[in-house]
Amino acid sequence: MRLLEVGQLVTSRQGRDSGRKYVVVQFYDDKHVAVADGLVRKLNRPKRKNIRHLIIHRVKLEARPMDDKAIRTFIAEHSSEEEVRKEVVQDHGQG
């Protein structure tokens, strides 16, 4: 049994997206997964992350089929207002 499963909530702890919450959408191999947040990283363009760079949460998205709106709603339900504010401030976009 794996430590991570598709649909599980994770938080990035390394990289420019540190502190941002994602949902696991795919496994590449034993060390890398694809994650999406339904906003910046959508299902059609997920982010590849090393499992060691993620904080794993116990909650899991059970919605089938999984879509961007379901992911956004799930992350919003499991995030406090202060955490969301911190993520927006940390946005390193070029615009």
CATH of the domain at 62: 2.30.30.30
Within-domain flag for 30: yes
What tens digit of pLDDT does each residue of 36-62 get? 999 999 999 999 999 999 999 999 998
Within-domain flag for 3: no
Within-domain flag for 95: no
Q: Are 60 and 7 in contact (CB under 8 A)?
A: yes
Measured between alpha carbons, how far is 12 from 74 in angstroms, rounded to an integer? 16
Amino acid at 8: Q
Measured between alpha carbons, how far is 26 from 9 in angstroms, rounded to an integer? 13
Within-domain flag for 62: yes
Domain that holds residue 65: 8-89
What tens digit of pLDDT does each residue of 22-31 get? 999 999 999 9
What tens digit of pLDDT does each residue of 54-90 get? 999 999 998 778 899 999 999 999 887 545 445 544 5
Domain count for the chain: 1
Within-domain flag for 94: no
Within-domain flag for 2: no
